[in-house]
């Protein structure tokens, strides 16, 4: 059995406060465990609390950190990830890199001496960096497939295989469409979507961006995020057992997200599918 625990489910910027207590305000970070393996999916502000929890295990911490892409909300927790400061710990960062600037440099730059008092190179643990492209890899003995997704810059979706189960993690993704920006007509051209459905096909769990309502998306085309109806239909078409809506908009408070969940559930119900539809919540754990 594998488990996923969400340490940060918010998109774009941390949103602490009384209106985000239920779903949480930290940016993207999830802890994925299978047997003795530890994968960390993205390193947003949620990784700070995960790091504090890992510190209770002592030293000798080893993890593979899969970065979806290098926007701040997916790497901003690294400077505050305490286990990375401790000699004897070992972390390997994986992710797509920009042709103009490698993965290690991009991550290190957010900790330059003007922006932060400690540089990445001065963190005491062993840090390794392995760039990925689209393909199939073995990481810490686990089969990991990757796909380029539709988000500004170079962004990857991941599929991890654990025996007969699999989880797909796609944190930031926009419908693959040939969108006519003048008419704002959506969902034209399904080529990219078909490829994505093939990638996700029959996954046990799909964690996917559902940042917007369909109405909001009309004014945010090219921003790199999905309306929830697209995400639900993606899960249905790919025949996943469980869909977890992720990367909540900073403007959506707990009440709004409850409504979004209800509206998304209606699509599943109308389809007649028994797909389990859940909202990612900071602190929640799912077994699969």
Residues that bind Zn ion (CB under 5 A): 11, 71, 73, 172
Q: How far is the CB of 222 from Zn ion (least distance, A)?
A: 12
**Shorter beta-carbon distance to Zn ion: residue 260 or 268:** 260
Q: How far is the CB of 199 from Zn ion (least distance, A)?
A: 19
DSSP letters along 256-285, please? HHHHHHHHHHHHHHHHT---EEEE--TT-E
Q: How far is the CB of 40 from Zn ion (least distance, A)?
A: 15
Helix, strand, coil proportions of the chain in percent (round to 5)?
A: 25, 30, 45
Among 236, 147, 223, residue whose Cα is nearest residue 179:
223
Q: How far is the CB of 221 from Zn ion (least distance, A)?
A: 15
Q: How far is the CB of 249 from Zn ion (least distance, A)?
A: 11
**Shorter beta-carbon distance to Zn ion: residue 8 or 11:** 11
Coil, helix or strand for 69? coil
User: Shortest Cβ contact with Zn ion: which residue?
Assistant: 71
Give the sheet arrangement for strand 29-34, strand by strand: 126-131, 90-95, 62-66, 37-41, 29-34, 2-8, 285-287
**Shorter beta-carbon distance to Zn ion: residue 13 or 118:** 13
Structural Rg of the chain based on CA atoms = 18
CA distance 36 to 263: 38
**Shorter beta-carbon distance to Zn ion: residue 209 or 229:** 209
**Shorter beta-carbon distance to Zn ion: residue 11 or 83:** 11
């Amino acid at each position: 059995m594998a488990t996923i625990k969400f340490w940060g489910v918010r998109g774009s910027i941390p949103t602490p406060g009384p209106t985000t207590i239920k779903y949480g305000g930290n940016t993207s970070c999830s802890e994925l465990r299978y047997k003795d393996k530890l994968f960390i999916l993205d390193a947003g502000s949620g990784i700070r609390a995960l790091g504090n929890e890992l510190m209770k295990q002592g030293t000798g911490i080893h993890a593979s950190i899969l970065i979806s892409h290098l926007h701040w909300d997916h790497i901003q927790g690294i400077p505050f990830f305490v286990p990375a400061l401790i000699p004897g710990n070992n972390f390997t960062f994986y992710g797509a890199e920009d042709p103009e600037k490698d993965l290690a440099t991009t991550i290190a730059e957010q900790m330059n001496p003007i922006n932060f008092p400690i540089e990445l190179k001065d963190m005491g643990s062993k840090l390794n960096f392995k760039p990925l492209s689209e393909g199939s890899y073995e990481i810490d003995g686990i089969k990991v497939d990757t796909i380029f997704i539709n988000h500004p810059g170079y962004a990857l979706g991941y599929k991890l295989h654990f025996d007969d189960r699999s989880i797909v993690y796609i944190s930031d993704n926009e419908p693959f469409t040939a969108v006519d920006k003048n008419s704002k007509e959506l969902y034209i051209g399904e080529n990219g979507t078909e490829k994505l459905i093939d990638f996700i096909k029959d996954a046990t769990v799909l964690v996917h961006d559902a940042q917007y309502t369909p109405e909001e998306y009309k004014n945010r085309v090219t921003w790199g995020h999905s309306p929830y109806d697209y995400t639900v239909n993606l899960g249905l078409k790919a025949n996943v057992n469980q869909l977890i809506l992720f990367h909540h908009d900073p403007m959506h408070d707990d009440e709004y997200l409850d409504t979004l969940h209800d509206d998304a559930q209606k699509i599943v119900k109308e389809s007649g599918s028994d797909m389990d539809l859940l909202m990612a919540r900071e602190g929640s754990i799912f077994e699969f």
